[in-house]
Amino acid sequence: MKKEKYDVFISYSRKDTPIVDKICHALDEQSITYFIDRKGLAGGSEFPAELEEAIDNSSIVLYIASNNSYQSKFTTGEINYAFNEKEKGYVIPYIIDNSDLLSIRGMKLIFTNVNIRNIFEHPIETTLMQDLCERLGLQYKEPESIRIEKERKLAEEKAKQEEELRKKILEEKKIQQEKLRKQQEEERIKREKELETLKKEQKRLMEDKRRHEELQTLEEADHNRRLKIREIELKRLEDNKIKENIQEKSQIVSNIKTLKKNAILAIASFVNLLVVFFYGDLVSYWLYGNGDYTFWGRCASPEEWEFTWENFCNYHKFDFLSNPIKFNWRDCIIFMSIFISGSLIMFSMMTGCLYLVGTKETPKDTGTAIGAYAGTFIFAMLGISVGLGYIYHSFFYGFCIWLLSIIVSILVVVFINRFINHHKNVFENE
């Protein structure tokens, strides 16, 4: 291809000047020479020769296709002339609006099998300039604006990538932080659970310790209470023993006193009976010795005497010198007083004898007292009978009857006492 004066001839409508100016600026940046009719050479009615010469001296005809250029007859003339004069492929259409180039009458024949570019899909600074440089055999130089734009886009892309990377790092960091937070939260929950378990265990141990101490305290208190009760019991037993010893000593003293008293009573009773025996026997001897039987009443002898209250009361109608005295009550009263006092002395003596019978195994009780009273009553009755017997007969005979009555009375009382205590023990054992 020969070197032409112009690299590009621009065919356009003046109505599209703003876009054409951008194309011219892009051509200048690529150092591509061009011809553009800015003076209005085609203002006449005929196609000027100057335009023909410019087309002939241009390597490529760049047709700026638009609805404006389709209506311009000069633009259509330029394209037709270029189609006839130039080789196919050197007339390049470039659509700058939404028009359909091939639908325009006459254009389909010219641009059939031609790679048609448009401003929307093929930018001026890049695709259009690359196509022109390739046809012209020139090295495409990236425009400063494109370079700046690319750098801007690269910077934006880099910033975007960095932002995405930062976001990704932040996201990963956030994920890691969230994961760490969850892990820390789990560890915290685990520690809290362990701490709670430890607290519960400590609380349980403290509670067990408290219960153990309380139990130990209760056991000590119970032990002390038992010891105190034992001490009180021992003291009570000791006090009871002391009391029993005191009572035993008191009882021994009382027994000694009672024995002394009973001995005195027994001696007094014996003396009393001796007085009765002696007095009765002395009187009988004196009266019998004088042969005076008038003291028996109106009887000639003692065998004829009958026991009547009148005869009994008249028994002692005499003085101490055996002189009969009419209606002498002195000796009768003395004799009856001696019998009454003798009965009381016998009662006291029998009570003392029953006390001697009573021991720890057979203690004195109500039954023993009743037995004593019964025995004393029996003995008193026997004593009266004995008194009558020895008065009626003799001293020795009366003494034997008195002694026999004492023995019988004591045996009766002892038997009653033993019988009552035996049945009492049987009842208590049951």
Containing H/E element for 398?
Answer: helix 395-429
Domain boundaries, the chain: 6-141, 259-429
Instruction: Give whole-number Cα distances, 45 to 75, 83, 88, 99, in Å.
Output: 13, 21, 28, 27
pLDDT for 37: 86
pLDDT of residue 298: 41
**What pLDDT score does 161 carry?**
83
pTM: 0.39
Contacts made by residues 245-249, CB under 8 angstroms, sequence distance 24+: none
**Along the 430 residues of the chain, how does pLDDT read in single tens digits?**
456 688 999 999 999 999 999 999 999 988 899 999 877 655 554 567 888 889 989 999 999 999 999 998 889 888 989 888 888 778 999 999 998 888 888 888 888 888 889 999 999 888 899 999 998 889 888 777 777 877 888 888 888 888 888 888 888 888 888 888 888 888 888 888 888 888 888 888 988 888 888 888 888 888 888 888 888 888 888 888 888 888 777 767 666 665 555 555 555 555 555 555 454 444 444 444 444 444 444 444 444 444 444 444 444 444 444 444 443 444 444 555 555 555 555 555 555 554 544 444 444 555 555 565 566 556 555 555 555 554 444 445 555 666 676 676 667 666 766 766 665 555 455 5
pLDDT at position 282? 47
Q: Write down the architecture of domain 6-141 according to CATH.
A: 3-Layer(aba) Sandwich (3.40)
CA-to-CA dists, residue 395 to 215, 312, 331, 401, angstroms: 89, 19, 19, 10
Residues 6+ apart with CB under 8 A from 343: 380, 383, 384
